[in-house]
Amino acid sequence: MAPIRVAVIGLGKIARDQHLPAIANDDDFQLAAVVDPVVSGLEDVPCFDSLDALFQGGVAVDAVVLCTPPQIRYTLARKALKNNIHVFLEKPPGATLAEVAALSQRADAGDLTLFAGWHSRYAAGVEPARAWLAERRIEKVSIRWREDVRVWHPGQEWIWEAGGLGVFDPGINALSIATHILPRTFILRSATLSIPANRAAPIAADLRFIDGDDVPMSMDLDWRQTGPQSWDIVVETDQGRLMLAKGGAVLSLPGQDVGGEDREYAGMYSRFASLIRSRRSDVDTAPLRLVADAFLLGRRETTEAFYWDR
């Protein structure tokens, strides 16, 4: 079967660190082109400064991967779908829920694949955690997702703008895991968003949820963490504690630790290829919906201004 010819749109850190290697190591895909208005291209791969230039350049592509900031993703995805091209959306899949719904409708109407890629769901410990929790009574859930924004998003101004999500850019990874492994839907009851005086998006957030059985869940997000970083989910059950550490890569269960190979992006590309071959879509917006609820319901407090040079 011929490989799927794919173009990567946006050559930022995540594209270079994760997407390009995953494509290179997957026989189902062939990197046909890259698109970026600023960054230079890759050796032996056609590079264009816009999606329109790609379409006019005569390079055949079957799918695009959108690694751009979310604020511009809808326009690009809509244009690709109008040109009968499958679309892979990096997380978050859009700046708003309505955008993603509109894209999903267009993909369905055109018999095309739209894939919202939640990479953290493919971490080694996530599926075993989901299976273990399915047979336990959950009593309490705690999420602690703290990291240094200067390390993981150096100089990226878009994350501080409206639609950029701020600390929810990494926090949505935790929500993508929680909505996948927990057996019942949970809803937001309260939130406090700490927003720097010179920014439009939060640098920290404290959230409280409950599920349909009133099981409490807390979430602590902070972008000011220095030293060791924290990406942990702890679930207390009637049969002991489950802990997912290092963003889902390491699973600790009573009496055992479960590890595995890092295949987050490899797993997403395998899923994307399967969806394209079967002409199906996978567009779960549950994590984005919870973030939207935080902005709707959250109490805002102003904190000290944030500057990249400290």
Nearest to 195 by CA among 277, 43, 306: 306
Torsion sign across C-alpha atoms 178, 75, 273, 282: positive
Q: Exposed, middle or buried, 44 (CB in 10 Å: 0-12/13-18/19+)?
A: exposed
- Whether 121-260+292-303 and 4-119+264-282 are alike in CATH topology: the answer is no
Q: How far apart are the first and last CA of the chain?
A: 52
Helix (H, G, I), strand (E, B) or coil at 30: strand
Number of residues in the chain: 310
Task: Map out the domains of the chain as residue ranges.
Answer: 4-119+264-282, 121-260+292-303
pLDDT computed for residue 262 by the predictor: 75
Q: Is the pLDDT of residue 228 over 80?
A: yes
Our answer to whether residue 82 is catalytic in this structure is no
Between 3.40.30.10, 3.30.70.270, 3.30.360.10, 3.50.50.60, what CATH number should domain 121-260+292-303 receive? 3.30.360.10
Reported as a single tens digit per residue, the pLDDT across 155-213 is 999 999 999 999 999 999 999 999 999 999 999 999 999 999 999 999 999 999 999 99
Reported as a single tens digit per residue, the pLDDT across 47-96 is 999 999 999 998 999 999 999 999 999 999 999 999 999 999 999 999 99
Q: Is the pLDDT of residue 226 over 90?
A: yes
Residue with tokens 């878009």: 158
pLDDT computed for residue 258 by the predictor: 76
Q: Domain 4-119+264-282: which topology? A: Rossmann fold (3.40.50)
Mean of pLDDT over the chain: 95
**Residues 6+ away with beta carbon under 8 Å from 16:** none
Pick the catalytic residue from 13, 91, 140, 246: 91
Q: What is the mean pLDDT of residues 141-162?
A: 95
